[in-house]
């Protein structure tokens, strides 16, 4: 579980509730069923209109990645690729077939299988890069769902506010009802802002971060696979792959991989 996502949401909502309490307000006054229908229900319907049903129904599966992200370990990946390079130089590319079952990542397994099968290097690159582009496109579709929903939520919050104002003005003769009516009208805007800026946009940003991490791992796999196929010296393979990483991480990985 990604603690940053969970802690951020819990502390974020807690701060809002505590702010209401310290302002001598009652948090229960901010719970309004009609506002929930208008803001959450309305914005979700807009999401259904603007995206295919199959994509929208998969939004909860996409959201799960923000809470339970896959673990990416470039250190371990580079060690594996360098060891494959050493084995290929020592025993030949066909010897790598014995290690395919040990690879958990299907993308890397497919790339090494292409190399073992004697596929042309340029074709190996094209196949792996095309698959990476498709992965990125799928991730962008998932991220777009949250960006779209975050765009619609404040708009439906404003729609709810306008509806509340209209209903309040209908009964404007009752001066005592104006204050409570205005408060109720503004709750939908409050809901829309919280949905967009505490939940939806942050989850979208987290998904973007995870996408960048996975793309980095896949780029390392592509470069490592092609380097193995070309018979590069394992030290050169290591230097190539380490160059993909943040300079702060290179020293630790270099010391673990060794020369």
All structural domains of the chain with their residue ranges: 1-31, 35-259
The closest of 17, 32, 39 to 158, measured between CA atoms, is 39
**What is the structure's pLDDT at 192?**
95
**What is the structure's pLDDT at 186?**
86
Residue 9, H or E segment: helix 3-22
Q: Which residues contact 160 (CB under 8 A, 6 or more apart)?
A: 34, 35, 38, 39, 42, 185, 187, 188, 189, 191, 192
**What is the structure's pLDDT at 256?**
58
**What is the structure's pLDDT at 173?**
73
**What is the structure's pLDDT at 102?**
84
**What is the structure's pLDDT at 165?**
84
Token pair, residue 45, equals: 């319907």
**What is the structure's pLDDT at 51?**
94
Q: What is the model's pTM?
A: 0.85
CA–CA distance, 107 with 81 (Å, rounded to integer): 13
Cα distances from 211 to residues 3, 63, 137, 161, 215, in angstroms, run 18, 13, 10, 36, 6
SS3 20: helix
**Cβ distance 204 to 150 under 8 Å?**
yes
The pLDDT averaged over each successive group of 10 residues in the chain (259 residues) is 91 94 86 90 96 92 91 88 91 88 90 92 95 94 95 94 82 68 82 96 95 94 93 89 81 59
């Amino acid at each position: 579980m990604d603690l940053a996502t969970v802690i951020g949401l819990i502390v974020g909502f807690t701060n809002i509730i505590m702010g209401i309490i310290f302002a001598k307000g009652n948090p229960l006054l901010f719970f309004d069923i009609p506002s929930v229908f208008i803001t959450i229900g309305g914005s979700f319907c807009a999401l259904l209109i603007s995206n295919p049903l199959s994509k929208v129904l998969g939004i909860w599966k996409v959201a799960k990645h923000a809470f339970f992200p896959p673990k990416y370990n470039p250190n371990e990946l580079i060690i594996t690729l360098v060891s494959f390079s050493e084995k290929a130089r020592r025993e030949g590319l066909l010897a790598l077939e014995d290690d395919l079952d040990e690879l958990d990542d299907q993308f890397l397994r497919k790339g090494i299988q292409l190399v073992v099968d004697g596929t042309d290097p340029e074709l190996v690159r094209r196949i792996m890069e095309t698959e990476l582009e498709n992965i990125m496109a799928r991730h962008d579709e998932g991220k777009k769902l949250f960006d779209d929903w975050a765009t619609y939520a404040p708009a439906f919050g404003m729609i709810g506010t306008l509806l509340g104002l209209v209903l309040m003005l209908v009964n404007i003769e009752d001066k005592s009802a104006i204050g409570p009516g205005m408060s109720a009208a503004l709750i939908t805007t409050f809901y829309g802002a919280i949905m967009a800026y505490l939940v939806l946009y942050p989850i979208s940003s987290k998904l973007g971060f995870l996408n960048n991490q996975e793309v980095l791992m896949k780029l390392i796999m592509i470069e490592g696979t092609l380097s193995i196929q070309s018979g590069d010296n394992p030290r050169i393979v290591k230097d190539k792959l380490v160059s993909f990483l943040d300079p702060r991480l290179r020293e630790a990985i270099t010391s673990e991989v060794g020369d």
